[in-house]
């Protein structure tokens, strides 16, 4: 039997549920603690945006396909891991020019306040601390497929609200 073409690795990333996120910034604190051994949101790989008491969301790297940050780097300092999709930064090559920051639509690339090179979420070697610590369980370590599935289940539950009440269990 002919071998199947290699399946593209499943890329998991950190996603915040806008319904659940309350803007508490615990994710920022645990991130800067995990990565830099200090408490400092400006060194966090995930940032909270509160536009209004009712509008809160944590934002971090989405592991885009064909990541624009990588394409934008004129010094080839960024590379996307084939396996995990994580953006890897060569700190020797990066000179803090900020093209990648401009290229990212989500503000996930940040200039480090001290080293002046960029940094972004590296998924804590597959066990993101922000997800573990999020008190609202608003953060998910998930894939885009799973997010779509979740949305589908949610919408069907909503459409069948009455029927759901009679479903046993």
Q: C-beta of 33: minimal distance to other proteins in Å?
A: 7
9, 123 contact by CB (below 8 A): no
Going by the DSSP 8-state scheme, the letter that residue 82 receives in this structure is T
Q: What does the block give as tokens for 105?
A: 């639509």
Reading phi first (left if > 0) and then psi (alpha if -120 to 50, else beta), residue 138 is in alpha
Of residues 17, 33, 68, 72, which one binds other proteins by CB under 8 A? 33
Residue 129 structure tokens: 């601390």
Taking the complex as a whole, how short is the minimal distance between the CB of residue 49 and other proteins, in angstroms? Answer: 8
Give the strand pairing for 87-89 and 78-80.
antiparallel
Please identify, using beta-carbon distances, which residue of 7 and 52 lies nearer to other proteins: 52
Rule CB under 8 A: say whether 17 interacts with other proteins: no
- Give the single-character DSSP code of 10: P
Establish if 53 lies at the interface with other proteins (CB under 8 A): yes
- Which range touches other proteins (CB under 8 A), out of 8-16, 29-37, 84-92, 145-153? 29-37
Contact between 117 and other proteins (CB under 8 A)?
A: no
CA–CA separation, 17 vs 108, rounded Å? 17
Cβ neighbour number for residue 89 with a 10 Å cutoff: 21
SS3 for 3?
coil
Q: Which one, 129 or 144, has the nearer CB to other proteins?
A: 129
Cβ proximity to other proteins, 29 vs 141, nearer residue? 29
Residues 73-112 that bind other proteins (CB under 8 A): none
Name the one range near other proteins by CB under 8 A: 1-9, 82-90, 97-105, 133-141: 133-141
The footprint of other proteins (CB under 8 A) covers: 22-26, 29-30, 33, 36-43, 49, 52-54, 56, 113, 133, 135-136
């Amino acid at each position: 039997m002919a071998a199947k073409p290699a399946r593209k690795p499943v890329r998991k990333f950190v996603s915040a549920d806008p319904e659940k996120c309350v803007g508490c910034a615990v994710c920022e604190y645990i991130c800067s603690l995990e990565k830099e051994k200090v408490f400092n949101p400006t060194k966090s790989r995930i940032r909270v945006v509160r536009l209004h008491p009712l509008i809160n969301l944590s934002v971090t790297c989405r592991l885009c396909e064909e990541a624009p940050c990588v394409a934008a780097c004129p010094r080839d300092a960024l590379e996307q891991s084939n396996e995990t999709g994580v953006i890897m930064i060569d700190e020797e090559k990066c000179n803090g020019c900020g093209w990648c920051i401009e290229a990212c639509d989500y503000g996930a690339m940040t200039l480090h306040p001290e080293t002046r090179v960029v940094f972004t979420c590296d998924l804590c070697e597959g066990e993101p601390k922000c997800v573990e610590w999020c008190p609202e369980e608003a953060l998910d370590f998930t894939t885009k497929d799973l997010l779509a599935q979740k949305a589908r289940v949610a919408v069907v539950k909503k459409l069948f609200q009455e029927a759901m009440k009679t479903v046993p269990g």
